A and B are shown apart, each in its own frame.
Chain A
Amino acid sequence: NAGVTQTPKFQVLKTGQSMTLQCAQDMNHEYMSWYRQDPGMGLRLIHYSVGAGITDQGEVPNGYNVSRSTTEDFPLRLLSAAPSQTSVYFCASSLTQGANTEAFFGQGTRLTVV
């Protein structure tokens, strides 16, 4: 039972480069989301998706792009990396919204932009 899988685990980018962070879940969850975790800031929502073909912005969407072509995958694209995007990125998924919905997280991608 893999749960939520993120790749890569570590990445170093140069300013201006683009890349895609991968996220896949094998639990048939409708809801998927991306958070970034920064010291002193906690976890902040970047983008989320409520199903294949449906995405929306969270708190800090600028500089990031997402799409959801399948239920399983929810990639996060950095269009032109900036040092301010140095962070730890987490992907999460949950079955539905509602009171009994438990969120599951991946192991994170540690991104450094130099």
Chain B
Amino acid sequence: KQEVTQIPAALSVPEGENLVLNCSFTDSAIYNLQWFRQDPGKGLTSLLLIQSSQREQTSGRLNASLDKSSGRSTLYIAASQPGDSATYLCAVRDPTDSWGKLQFGAGTQVVVTP
């Protein structure tokens, strides 16, 4: 069974510092990996989608890498801002069943201090 792990569970950084968030998964046979942001009491907002054939994706200050062979993805957020404070979740789309369901990590809670 696919297991997705995010370490650390919580992270606090001063404004301006780069953020590095980790996601690991046990089965490298994935369709894709998606990073989400969740603000307190809110829904999930999609940040980046990396297809299984891709090594990285970029959007503005965000860059996500994917290394399927080692079962890892890293989300980099450059020059962090207080508005980046949120919980970040990664999810892999697993092809082991006919639908390709999402398997989520537990998330990393980020606080960016002014």
Q: Which residues of A contact B (CB under 8 A)?
A: 31, 33, 35, 40, 42-43, 45, 48, 50, 56, 58, 90, 92, 97-108, 110
Q: Is there an interface contact between B32 and A99, defined as CB atoms closer than 8 Å?
A: yes
Expressed in whole angstroms, the Cα–Cα distance for A31 and B101 within the complex equals 10
User: Once the chains bind, are A101 and B93 in contact (CB under 8 Å)?
Assistant: yes
Q: Which residues of B contact A102 (CB under 8 A)?
A: 34, 46, 49
Of the stretches B12-20, B76-84, B102-110, the one at the interface is: B102-110
- A104 CB, min distance to chain B CBs, angstroms: 7
Residues of A within 8 A of B45 (CB): 105
Complex Cα distance A33/B91, Å? 14
Evaluate contact between B34 and A42: CB separation under 8 angstroms: no
Across-interface contacts of A43 in B (CB, < 8 A): 89, 91, 102, 104
7 pairs from A and B in contact (CB 8 Å cutoff): A45-B102, A48-B101, A97-B99, A99-B52, A101-B31, A103-B34, A107-B42
A101 touches B100 (CB 8 A): yes
- Residues of chain A lying within 8 A (CB to CB) of residue B102: 33, 43, 45, 92, 103
